[in-house]
Amino acid sequence: MSEGGVPTIDELRAAASDAVQSAANLAELEQVRIRYLGKSGLLTAQLKALGTLPKEQRPAVGQIINQVKTAVQEQIDVRKQALQRVALEQRLVGEHIDVTLPGRGQRLGGLHPITRTLQRIERLFANAGFAVVEGPEIEDDYHNFEALNIPAHHPARAMHDTFYFVTGDCCAPIPRRCKYA
């Protein structure tokens, strides 16, 4: 120890080296890094104390402190890699995969959002007492026009508004879901 109880640079180097080697896990190693190289670390405090030295000693002492900081950082990096390697090996030993098991099956697709919404609406109305009735989408001429008293010259019977089939059936000009007799 130098005067005033402040450790010398060599003592800091040795203490930091011992602390790095004795760190058993990454958390302890991070604490060592903070203690020696952190913002309020011991080596950082030595650099801040350079202002109290005579002008001619500052460059040499600053260079020595920076060399020690670099050496300590390299030791920390090497130890960190070793600890990470050990942690990975332990994790790999603990996590073994049985390659003889069958793979995960493929999930089947789902319903389209509009289909799901229509099903929800139908359930809602069914709960309210209504019934959903399916009807033909192709009607004959009588049920589509004659029974509704639509005259033969009405625009709804025009070829551009109604699709006619050879059998005399036609698609409804208005979307109709059901027919009641």
Each domain of the chain, given as residue ranges in start order, spans 9-95, 133-180
What is the structure's pLDDT at 108? Answer: 85
State mean pLDDT over 133-158. 82
Backbone torsions φ then ψ of 120, nearest 5 degrees: -65, -45
Q: List, for residues 120-130, the tens digit of each pLDDT value.
A: 999 999 999 99
What is the structure's pLDDT at 181? Answer: 39
Helix (H, G, I), strand (E, B) or coil at 171: strand
User: Binning pLDDT at 50, 70 and 90, where does residue 1 land?
Assistant: very low
What is the structure's pLDDT at 170? Answer: 65
Picking from 113, 42, 121, 31, the residue whose alpha carbon sits closest to that of residue 76 is: 31
User: Binning pLDDT at 50, 70 and 90, where does residue 180 land?
Assistant: very low
Q: Where does residue 72 rank: exposed (0-12), middle (13-18), buried (19+ CB within 10 A)?
A: buried
**CA-CA distance, 161 to 136, in Å (whole number)?**
18
What is the structure's pLDDT at 58? Answer: 84
- Please report, for the chain, how many H helices and E strands are present, in that order: 6, 2
User: Binning pLDDT at 50, 70 and 90, where does residue 169 land?
Assistant: low
Q: List, for residues 2-50, the tens digit of each pLDDT value.
A: 555 567 888 888 998 999 899 888 899 899 999 988 888 888 888 888 8
- C-beta of residue 65 within 8 angstroms of C-beta of residue 46: yes
